[in-house]
Amino acid sequence: MILPIKQFDVIGENREAKYKGFGIFFLRKLFIAFFVLFNLKLFIISVRFSSQYKIFEAKDAPERSGAEAEAMPLVYNEAAAAVTKVVDEAEAMRKVYKEAAADSAEAKAMLKVGKEQKTKKKRMDCEGFPDWPLSPGIALYEDNVGEPQCDPNNSVYPWLLHQTSAPNRRPSNEEVNTTLSNLPSETGYLWHTDEDICAFMRTQPLRFQALYNSLTRTPHKVDLWRYLLLYQRGGVYLDDDARLQVQFNSSFVKSVDSVYTTQSVVLDDEQRPFGYTIYNGLLISKPCNRVLLSVAERMVQIGDLNKERIEGQPWENDVVHPSLTNWYNLKLLAIAIAERAPAELHPDVKCLAAGPGKCRFLQPDTRYTVPFKRFKKSGELHRNASVIRYKDDHDWTTAVFDARQCGGMVVNQVSGGKHDAVSVDPHPSPWVPATYNRMVFTHVGKAGGSYLIQLMEALAKRNKFTLVKGSQTVGFNPSRQKLFEDIISLKNNTVYENHACYVNGLDDRDFISIVRDPFDLMNSHFYYGVDTEIRKEKAVNQLKDRKEDKLCGCFNLEFDQCIDTKYKNNCTIKLPSQMFYFCEPGDSNCTIDVALSNVEKYALVGITEEMSLTVELLEKVTPWVFGGQAEEVAARRNASKVSKRSTNIFNPVTNTSLNGATSTRTRQQIKERAVNYEDEIEFYNRVKKLFWRKAVQLSY
């Protein structure tokens, strides 16, 4: 359960109340002492005047009776004694006055220190930031920063886990390592101090600086900072008191542009009048996320909800319950995500029509729900879950873990925090992981992979990596378990190649592959199947099968003749499947959507028809393997080295020739009759689009 952040610093308030109590006590004491002293002085003056009068009267009246004359010295002595007593009392009162004044000054000093300590702890203000609200003159003429900057073409951005907390709660080495074990293996770590946050905010427009200092609550300051930080740099943000419940491997994270999760708390209508919110304790994003910038801008529009409202500033809805001022920016985040989602997923963006208790963040829709597999460390499937995945209105691939639809929370918040006084063993910051170079080449048969293998064999010595052929360890097209074990055991600087499928759960391995035009692929398969020089006994057996099938076997026919014969005889025609290479071994649910989602996890899927460009792009994404490929290709060309073909041009057994030509008639017949034509053609065409998009991203 995710708990609301504490609203008040109780200790700080009690301390301030204590100081205020001391101050009031001593001020009262001081006032009483001053009042008594003032009246005492008046009494002394009156007594002295009366005594002097009586003394003078006694001296100047000889005509008085003898009894009166004798009594006058006594009166004089009594008056003098009274004056002495009053003076002594006055001195005592002066002493009390001085003590009260000293105590009052000390109380004031203590109160001032207490306020300074409380302000410093709660506000995290940065020096030199403009006042809020920002005046039009400053906004127009003094803001030289410009808009927040980001790099929209930085699709392969460095993974970095960002965290911040109070110094005495800095995450420990153990806690950070546990978190990093659930993120892509190449993820680094950066812990941000208060000074780091201020330094970053100084690079932002003045409106964000002014708002930052104005925000009363520290969590809201950190919220504003994290939105702007991830917008500019991208990466992963995780609250220091949160724990990941699932493993986000590299293949999943690379396939999306941003990841969010809803809050698990379901409160009543009074507490939650505006529906669900997004938990911003976990944010994963590439740079230039419009959602995050939108929330930061809306925070500027609203100002500080914990202060008196500035007239004219808008608010999304009326805040009914006071505690909602703590979570308002989480609602802004939910609105910004929903506004950009397909309308069928969220027709009621602000949850106004459904009502607070009935509102869903995203509507159930199987078109946007995809499996999300949770794996154990051993690679075994833990349990199935799902994630809502869609393209928003700016073609931004968004993944949302809705706690109500997706099998529970992917992160939980530890009640009371988990980092009490652990700064004695903090995780190093900044920190980057050691480089592990391991690559898997899922070799689609007859798509030109043999050329890449020969090139890698030539580059292996130069670039100091090892090429492992999986066919020699587990054979072609192994089961998922055997393939996983083979790949997981790879040492550093190793490339694994096999006619094998894609495997989930291997987050620290780069996958590459290459696909081919389906018509040309089918043509190549037809001649390769009966090449007895290369395939030996397998080819002999296939020739036997073709000869026995008099109607559809195509014995000793050229490819065009075979397709025409099958077409006329109403035989089954099927394109060799490339799509299944991009699903897991034995996956009975291998659809085009599943295959394409896995293609997006690859470092690169090349195109046979663009082999030269494919190799150049491979050098960009995996330089430790294909670095120097241009020199090696040129050297082979100058030495007149010809790449060994995987299928002979002429087959003396069948008296046929692989001439590479596929007639227009044959293409049309395949289009009409091939049972898997639509899926395989669409798959190939969409992979081509991804290939050219990657080329543009890499500045080709």
pLDDT tens figures, 34-69: 555 555 555 555 555 555 544 444 444 444 445 554
Q: Is residue 356 a contact partner of residue 376, using CB atoms and an 8 Å limit?
A: no
pLDDT at 409: 74
pLDDT at 48: 52
Percent of the chain with pLDDT over 90: 42
Please say if the pLDDT value at position 97 is more than 60: no
Please say if the pLDDT value at position 225 is more than 90: yes
Question: Highest mean pLDDT range out of 81-85, 132-136, 264-268, 665-669?
Answer: 665-669
Q: What is the DSSP code (8-state) at residue 341?
A: S
For domain 438-697, which CATH number applies: 3.40.50.720, 3.40.50.970, 3.30.565.10, 3.40.50.300?
3.40.50.300
Lowest mean pLDDT among 24-28, 263-267, 625-629, 676-680: 24-28
pLDDT at 421: 45
The Cβ of residue 529 has, within 10 Å, a number of other Cβ atoms equal to 17
> How does residue 662 score in pLDDT terms, banded at 50, 70 and 90?
confident
Which residue from 115, 83, 180, 82 is spatially nearest to 432, judged by alpha carbons?
180
Please say if the pLDDT value at position 78 is more than 70: no
The CA distance from 573 to 323, in Å, is 66
Burial class (CB in 10 A: 0-12, 13-18, 19+), 246: buried
Please say if the pLDDT value at position 547 is more than 90: yes
Assigned token pair, 122: 């709660």
Average pLDDT on 397-406 reads 84
Average pLDDT on 227-240 reads 94
Q: Is residue 537 a contact partner of residue 544, using CB atoms and an 8 Å limit?
A: no
pLDDT at 69: 47
Average pLDDT on 477-502 reads 91
pLDDT at 429: 85
The larger pLDDT score, comparing residue 191 to residue 422, is at 191
Please say if the pLDDT value at position 297 is more than 90: yes
The larger pLDDT score, comparing residue 237 to residue 108, is at 237
pLDDT at 371: 79
The CA distance from 305 to 321, in Å, is 12
Burial class (CB in 10 A: 0-12, 13-18, 19+), 424: exposed
pLDDT at 403: 75
Question: Highest mean pLDDT range out of 156-165, 317-326, 357-366?
Answer: 156-165
pLDDT at 58: 46
pLDDT at 628: 92
Average pLDDT on 509-527 reads 94
Please say if the pLDDT value at position 118 is more than 70: no
Please say if the pLDDT value at position 272 is more than 60: no
Task: Give Cα 288 distance to the centre of its chain.
Answer: 13
Which residue from 123, 43, 140 is spatially nearest to 89, judged by alpha carbons?
43
Assigned token pair, 633: 């290709």
Which residue from 355, 349, 360, 298 is spatially nearest to 328, judged by alpha carbons?
298
Q: Which residues contact 189 (CB under 8 A, 6 or more apart)?
A: 160, 161, 163, 176, 180, 427, 428, 429, 430, 431
Lowest mean pLDDT among 136-140, 263-267, 415-419, 476-480: 415-419
Assigned token pair, 600: 């997006």
Burial class (CB in 10 A: 0-12, 13-18, 19+), 351: buried
Average pLDDT on 84-110 reads 58
Lowest mean pLDDT among 127-131, 149-153, 354-358, 576-580: 354-358
pLDDT at 417: 52
Lowest mean pLDDT among 285-294, 374-383, 493-502: 374-383
If residue 440 lies in a helix (H) or strand (E), which one and from where to where? strand 438-442
Coil vs helix vs strand at 411: strand
Percent of the chain with pLDDT over 70: 70
Beta bridge partners of 606: 514
The CA distance from 579 to 592, in Å, is 7
The CA distance from 294 to 230, in Å, is 12
The CA distance from 219 to 526, in Å, is 66
Question: Highest mean pLDDT range out of 92-96, 311-315, 414-418, 503-507?
Answer: 503-507
Assigned token pair, 319: 């805040």
Task: Give Cα 197 distance to the centre of its chain.
Answer: 17
Which residue from 275, 442, 260 is spatially nearest to 341, judged by alpha carbons?
260
The CA distance from 535 to 537, in Å, is 6
Angle at 218 between CA 161 and CA 143, to 5 degrees: 85
Domain-by-domain residue ranges, the chain?
10-123, 136-149+159-308+315-413, 438-697
> How does residue 14 score in pLDDT terms, banded at 50, 70 and 90?
very low
Q: Which residues contact 331 (CB under 8 A, 6 or more apart)?
A: 274, 275, 277, 316, 324
Average pLDDT on 143-161 reads 71
Could you read off the pLDDT of 406-428 as tens digits, one per residue? Answer: 766 788 877 655 444 445 678 88
Q: Is residue 196 a contact partner of residue 263, using CB atoms and an 8 Å limit?
A: no
Please say if the pLDDT value at position 526 is more than 70: yes
Q: What are phi and psi of 398, to 5 degrees?
A: -115, 135
pLDDT at 108: 54
pLDDT at 361: 72
The Cβ of residue 435 has, within 10 Å, a number of other Cβ atoms equal to 9
The CA distance from 627 to 618, in Å, is 9
Q: Give me the sign of the Cα torsion angle 588, 591, 595, 600.
A: negative
Could you read off the pLDDT of 551-576 as tens digits, one per residue? Answer: 999 999 999 999 999 999 999 999 99
The CA distance from 133 to 141, in Å, is 15
Lowest mean pLDDT among 188-192, 299-303, 453-457, 658-662: 658-662
pLDDT at 629: 93
Mean pLDDT taken over the chain: 78
The CA distance from 218 to 216, in Å, is 7
Q: What is the DSSP code (8-state) at residue 266?
A: -
